[in-house]
Structure 1
């Protein structure tokens, strides 16, 4: 976009969503290098003073509100000329409306630039949507946004896929239908050179695996999101005692932080070691260039060398994050909690698990949130077991003083996971598939860490079956006629109700694997969940579902 507008000083005019989209992949300094010196929001009143010497690059979502605001901007232009880019398909009528407002001909170009999603990593995208469920149906606004986001991903990567969806989920079927409608209507846009092996879009419903989002995470990226929350690559650290102003909010981007890029999939035990190596490297480089004898010398040295200043910032940032993670792990007794979570998810020992969950509910060192999560996992695993004691465990939560909102979530999450749509007689959650008894460990993990990472998301098996042509058509039917061959290479997976960083790691490892014939997988979801956001999603889904049934 910056190149199309040619040389000269520029202003970038965005909306709230495209500001997040751009910030995920570009740093401010990178944008400055493209002669963009001013950032404005279309939906926030900016400077009244005209700056006719500036070219204006507009990058906004093609919404009715944005078209209206853009018309106001063009009627009374603040800048010399406008290059307008929409993040998705825009209607001809909206283009006509904009053209009619351009009375003094300041608009030089109008184009579609398909970037209507947040690019979290090279294989992961998100739409930042929370609360897409209304019982077992879509929130209509979020359905439309999901269609737009997936269509934008496909157009940006120039793919026109066959579509498969999860049977038993009316939401997955509706989303598949809506995407096909757009592809059919915009067949000229989707007229790409056909590859020998056609791409595949697989649409899943989070209810196919409600266990993965409930587990404590132990790889760096997932752990930061679980305990501190990553929002648009930013982590709020203002709650940490004694934190400096510069570190009250930190950016974690694999594009711009080499240490983070190299370690985001490493487990908790390895992170401490790699951080120590980072500090040693920093000290070694510092000593090799200049003798540092005092703190003041060090300060002057760091300020003198931009590379070391950047390295110093990296060391400070990750030391603070890892220190806070360590603090929270100890304070919340997460090692003990996680061990039981993993046992429930990966083994089948009902009486042993019931005994351990009871013991942890009675342990006042465990937070109410962790105690409730263990009961949720137990209920999901053993709700059909003849000797289950879900009500007894819920009573235990009540007696220990857990808030009602937490212990009522046990019933809500079971209703969420095992609810069937009237549109299909197929059971939405296959219990055996969801909590497969597995003792598989990541081979590269060492020591006790593997106890906490033995769980493998259900998504891994689904994708492997798809690659091998073994994914059952009665469980994951095609929309329309299936392709003649069964081999797939370019795979898009979208999870309604959110994806997790554990599943992102699983996709990353599948992409790196050589045993799958070079399959390329891109995964996305309505959002990227941690436990807290997932429980909130379930809570809202069930409350809206209840409201629907009583009306």
Structure 2
């Protein structure tokens, strides 16, 4: 389907998962009641803006409209102007969105009489159906009751579960770092357990699960409950996923704070990739449009599939080589003299033109990225990041860079990301250094932006006072996180180590996951225990007993000699595109071979992680100002 990833080369039949979610969505629309019990049709579908992208990954607008939907709107504070009698909401269970729904119901939810004489039963002017995605919320429903609109609504939930972003990437598309690790709101963990259970319904009960981190453990316990509640369901098929590795984002806070250096990671950091699309300014594409232009960023574009996981340093030379090859392809027309030769060239022309369009897009993107990566400030930042990763310290050069960035009013999320990296690898900053840094940032950015943010960063372990010797240097050495001498390779050759994704830094999370996949050798157990959060291994299809021992050979039984076993990894709190690229490197180079299926609550980067914590500060201050007034 247009715009959706084709999922042609997935180790699992992810098209079956997408088909299941599509069926559930269309069935939900079919079940919508009509006003006054009449014929269904002419419905208005009002979507939480954050759900438009995820839903587009499972169903086309045409399919939705075939279910009686006339108009589709984005939920907004403005009044809803519609002639549709049936109004259907799909919203996240967030108070802000519920407030918009309440406003609509008060606007549209009045009663009208059956006849002009005023006789007969009073009936609602509209029928209202509210789907909470992915789960109902008692807090939100209490707001609806308090506002007096609850009786007007039929309330349901739609558990969308995992969405396939690629052949090897699943996402809940539910940003939740601040919820899980700052606010201790673990509702997403219930969503995750239900999503894994839905996978097991299609692909069999996963025989081996390992969890690193407290949230990861909760996901497993909730999954156990879902399994226990489904004992009377039909037996699932034979297991196709050999093992599931679950890891909390706060096990490795370092990786998302570093600058991603893969092509896809840099596109995300500079332009933002959402649900497989990027919004680009029209002038970048030579367009006269007045609004941003959407372009696919998934494996439907063969060129992007080839470029996405490469270190950005390889992109320019490769694009030059491809441009020369394309020029040679067009030159063939000058050598087509016979009817047969002309016919052969014309057969190639549509593909050549599509490749030309894709090449032009990526050349334009690469040019914009190069303007950033060639800047002196970019290289100063990379040097400081590498120094911090290698030494675990906060040097004079790093301190000078922070001062310069603050003076230049670097975007606050970007600057905080750098400062937090120094704190994470050093197990905090010295008291004198931390106080001076906080004073400097408060002077540069203002109290309103940072008053509560510092407390938030401290609470999640990102920016704190050093009170004891850290374990970074021992972990770095044991897991070979910093590779000083990465051998050069010819253009197009496989990098010798997965650390290429950060030009010499191997993501701690991926090294840890690789260790978990290899059954955690006892020689590294001490180092593994130094990482934040508990670790447990759950063996057997019912995951009934938690042990600290090596897992059974259940995983091996899920694969034939010709088919490598499938390991699913699940990040609670988000993962980066660079981590996905590193896991793809493992899939190609691990011995024995292993397929990796990456699942996550959402795709994240360091700036987005910082923004989620800063936003919490600003929201609270605005609320306090409002209450004081």
The TM-score with structure 2 as length reference comes to 0.60
Q: What displacement does 1:270 show?
A: 0.9
- Show the 5 A alignment for 1:96-111: none
The residue number in structure 1 matching 2:381 is 337
Tell me whether 1:498 sits opposite 2:498 in the alignment: no
Q: CA distance change for structure 1 residues 159 and 123 in 2, over 3 Å: closer, same or farther?
A: farther
The residue number in structure 1 matching 2:208 is 162
The residue number in structure 2 matching 1:455 is 505
Provide the rounded CA distance (Å) in 2 between the counterparts of 1:176 and 1:400: 44
Q: For the Cα contact (< 8 Å) 1:413–1:538, is it kept in 2?
A: yes
Q: What displacement does 1:445 show?
A: 5.5
Tell me whether 1:172 sits opposite 2:216 in the alignment: yes
Q: CA distance change for structure 1 residues 258 and 11 in 2, over 3 Å: closer, same or farther?
A: farther
Tell me whether 1:226 sits opposite 2:269 in the alignment: yes
Provide the rounded CA distance (Å) in 1 between the counterparts of 2:566 and 2:227: 17
The residue number in structure 2 matching 1:531 is 606
Provide the rounded CA distance (Å) in 2 between the counterparts of 1:145 and 1:43: 30
Q: CA distance change for structure 1 residues 11 and 461 in 2, over 3 Å: closer, same or farther?
A: closer
- Pick aligned residue for 1:153 from 199, 222, 226: 199
- Show the 5 A alignment for 1:394-409: 394-401=438-445, 405=449, 409=453
Unpaired runs of 5+ residues, structure 1, are: 5-9, 50-59, 64-86, 90-112, 292-300, 420-426, 547-551
- Show the 5 A alignment for 1:378-527: 378-384=422-428, 389-401=433-445, 405=449, 409=453, 412-417=456-461, 431=472, 438-440=481-483, 442-443=486-487, 453-470=503-520, 475-479=534-538, 480-481=544-545, 483-485=551-553, 489-515=565-591, 517-527=592-602
Q: CA RMSD in A?
A: 4.9
Q: What displacement does 1:486 show?
A: 8.3
Q: What displacement does 1:387 show?
A: 8.0
Over residues 125-159 of structure 1, what are the superposed CA-to-partner deviations in whole Å (9 max), with x where a residue is unaligned?
11111235255565354333322333233334334
Over residues 94-150 of structure 1, what are the superposed CA-to-partner deviations in whole Å (9 max), with x where a residue is unaligned?
xxxxxxxxxxxxxxxxxxx99832222222211111235255565354333322333
Provide the rounded CA distance (Å) in 2 between the counterparts of 1:495 and 1:407: 30
Q: What displacement does 1:221 show?
A: 0.8
Over residues 482-502 of structure 1, what are the superposed CA-to-partner deviations in whole Å (9 max), with x where a residue is unaligned?
554486643222121111112
Q: CA distance change for structure 1 residues 241 and 88 in 2, over 3 Å: closer, same or farther?
A: closer
Q: For the Cα contact (< 8 Å) 1:24–1:232, is it kept in 2?
A: yes
Q: CA distance change for structure 1 residues 18 and 231 in 2, over 3 Å: closer, same or farther?
A: closer
Tell me whether 1:326 sits opposite 2:360 in the alignment: no
Provide the rounded CA distance (Å) in 1 between the counterparts of 2:298 and 2:600: 19
Q: What displacement does 1:338 show?
A: 1.7
Provide the rounded CA distance (Å) in 1 between the counterparts of 2:378 and 2:421: 15
Provide the rounded CA distance (Å) in 2 between the counterparts of 1:357 and 1:120: 37
Provide the rounded CA distance (Å) in 2 between the counterparts of 1:319 and 1:176: 45
Q: Which moved more, 1:261-270 or 1:453-462?
A: 453-462
Q: CA distance change for structure 1 residues 412 and 138 in 2, over 3 Å: closer, same or farther?
A: closer
Q: For the Cα contact (< 8 Å) 1:205–1:495, is it kept in 2?
A: yes
Q: What displacement does 1:329 show?
A: 3.1
Q: For the Cα contact (< 8 Å) 2:161–2:195, is it kept in 1?
A: yes
Q: CA distance change for structure 1 residues 192 and 486 in 2, over 3 Å: closer, same or farther?
A: closer
Provide the rounded CA distance (Å) in 2 between the counterparts of 1:181 and 1:231: 32
Q: For the Cα contact (< 8 Å) 1:498–1:527, is it kept in 2?
A: yes
Q: What displacement does 1:478 show?
A: 3.0
Provide the rounded CA distance (Å) in 2 between the counterparts of 1:244 and 1:172: 46
- Pick aligned residue for 1:252 from 296, 302, 307: 296
- Show the 5 A alignment for 1:265-414: 265-289=309-333, 305-330=349-374, 333-345=377-389, 347-348=390-391, 350=393, 353-363=394-404, 364=407, 367-369=410-412, 370-384=414-428, 389-401=433-445, 405=449, 409=453, 412-414=456-458
Q: What displacement does 1:209 show?
A: 0.8
The TM-score with structure 1 as length reference comes to 0.68
